[in-house]
Structure 1
Amino acid sequence: MPNTAPEAALIVKTVHVAVGVLLRAGRVLIARRPEGVHQGGLLEFPGGKVEPGETVQQALCREVAEETGLTVTPEQLQPLINIRHDYGDKRVLLDAWIARDVQGEAEGREGQSIQWLAPEALRDEDFPAANRPIIRALRLPDQLAITGDIRDPEAGLQKLHLALSGAASPPLVVLRAPALESPPYVALALEAARVCDRAGAALVVHGEPGVFDRVPGACGVHLPWHQAERYTERPVPDRAWLGVSCHNEPQLRHAEKLGADYVTLGNVLPTPSHPGREGLGWARFGELVAHAAVPVYGLGGLALAHRPKAQAEGAQGIAGISFWWS
């Protein structure tokens, strides 16, 4: 009797790869993949497959030693980002960890060329596609500062100057003023960009994508969800940071499709700004972060003291207003 059962679907196994982002004096160690292997000729971060019975930290320390001769201990490693990527012929889970102030002389022990590069010198096209969110995570700070709701531009600029001169001065600021119409917001953003530049910070405008083109001093745009859901592709140039406000898993998936460079996710904990809205909680937040393909900032009810907890859950860090805008 002929076999009429449907053919079994091809099962593609996910390979768990430990990735090391090794820093020294502000530079990161990069290797070039040998020709003839998967994604050969492209640049990569050190690391390799997690073997059965190994923790990801053990695998990474072993791979770094085998590939570069450097000694990295599990205690040095901090989680950076997890990336799941389907190449079609291969699926990978990149489990990226960061180690700072790495000591020793690096060498390409497997015949690969290696070099220390500034994060700003890393170009997406030089790396396998799955590595690109790691580059974003490396360049982004661990706190994203959001201004309070600015209604008076003059008072808002004064407050911005004061906040940037404080001890908690952040490197990246989102200028939020939803009550302002477009012309006064653009005028505010032009001045705010200059204030940020003098303080050594960078400004991200908030609202619809077209604002970015009208504020030359801005480094990116952050889309509230009601703006992000209108688009089906990336609405700003690759040279700009693109952030998206997300609150659940479908919104995260949409932000990824847009090519977002980072997202905010929350609220994580109950917050006075949204009375009656229950927070995601750390467990659910961690689940969502673990399956996100972009760096995630925890948002909502968080203080600077929550930053280590957010990072332990795999987040880039925290975003918010109260920790710096008083």
Structure 2
Amino acid sequence: MSTPLPTLLVVAAALIDADGRVLIAQRPEGKQMAGLWEFPGGKVEPGERPEAALIRELREELGVETKEACLAPFVFASHAYESFHLLMPLYLCRRWEGAVTRHEHAALAWVRPNRMSDYPMPPADAPLVAYLRDLL
């Protein structure tokens, strides 16, 4: 029997603008999966609620403020990487304050869901694109 993998809880957001485009962010050099495009978000700290973690991550990564009421649970990814299992709820967010600014990523892009397959994504993020295409 194989050794069980630790589960890592990560939260992510699909920020959706007035034109129905979704924000994706390119992972910077020096990080695992550098150069791939992902939904912004990050790790949930011990004792932290997922929504609070996402609000914190959006502030740190993009310089925007949002409220829990503006986060709508949408779908989740469950993916086994080599050294851990990723569980990632994806929230929809259509309301935030402040201008989206790149703080931690190599690049940002506002993309229509039907064009998101043009951007290489980590294995956990890629399957979520079909749900966004169906919704938007």
**TM-score between the two structures when normalised by the length of structure 2:** 0.89
SS at match of 2:126: helix
Normalised TM-score (structure 1): 0.39
Unaligned runs of 5+ in 2: none
> What residue is the counterpart of 1:100 in the other structure?
94
Deviation at 1:101, TM superposition (A): 3.8
Give the Cα–Cα distance (whole angstroms) in 2 for the partners of residues 83 and 116 of structure 1.
21
What RMSD over aligned residues (CA atoms) do the two structures have, in Å?
1.9
Change (3 A) 1:105 1:125: closer
- CA deviations on 1:184-208 (whole Å, 9 max, x unpaired) are xxxxxxxxxxxxxxxxxxxxxxxxx
Corresponding position: 1:72 with 2:66: yes
Does 2:64 align with 1:63? no
SS of the equivalent of 1:130 reads coil
For 1:306-321, what aligned pairs fall within 5 Å after superposition?
A: none
* Paired residues for 1:231-310 under 5 Å: none
More helix by share: 1
- Give the aligned residue type for 1:79: P
**Identity of paired residues, percent?**
37
Aligned pair 1:45/2:39, yes or no? Answer: yes
1:24·1:102 contact (CA, 8 Å) conserved in 2?
Answer: no
Partner SS, residue 131 of structure 1? coil
Question: Is the 1:124–1:132 Cα contact (8 Å) retained in structure 2?
Answer: no
CA deviation after TM superposition for structure 1 residue 111, in Å: 4.8
1:124 to 1:51, Cα distance in 2 relative to 1, 3 A: farther
Partner of 2:110: 116
Alpha-carbon deviations, 1:123-177, whole Å to 9, x = none? 17610111122211111139xxxxxxxxxxxxxxxxxxxxxxxxxxxxxxxxxxx
Of the two structures, which has the highest relative contact order with CA contacts closer than 8 Å and spacing of 6 or more?
Answer: 2
Q: 1:21 matched to which residue of 2?
A: 14
**Relative to 1, partners in 2 of residues 1:30 and 1:141: Cα closer, same or farther, differing over 3 Å?**
closer
More strand by share: 2
Pairwise mapping of residues 212-231 of structure 1 onto structure 2 (< 5 A)?
none
Match of 1:269 in 2: none
Look at both structures and tell me which one has the larger radius of gyration over its CA atoms.
1
Q: Distance in 2 between matches of 1:46 and 1:59?
A: 12
Q: Tell me the equivalent position of 2:3.
A: 10
| Residue of structure 2 in register with 1:84 after alignment | 78
Contact 1:30 1:45 in 2 (8 A): yes
Q: 1:38 to 1:133 in 2, by over 3 A?
A: same
**What residue number does 2:30 align with?**
36
CA distance in 2, matches of 1:141, 1:27: 12
The answer on whether the counterparts of 2:40 and 2:58 sit within 8 Å (CA) in structure 1 is yes
Output the CA distance in 1 between the equivalents of 2:83 and 2:103. Answer: 28
| CA–CA separation in structure 1 for the residues paired with 2:36 and 2:126 | 12
**CA deviation after TM superposition for structure 1 residue 88, in Å:** 2.0
Q: Aligned AA for 1:113?
A: A
1:112-261 correspondence to structure 2 within 5 Å: 112-123=106-117, 126-141=120-135
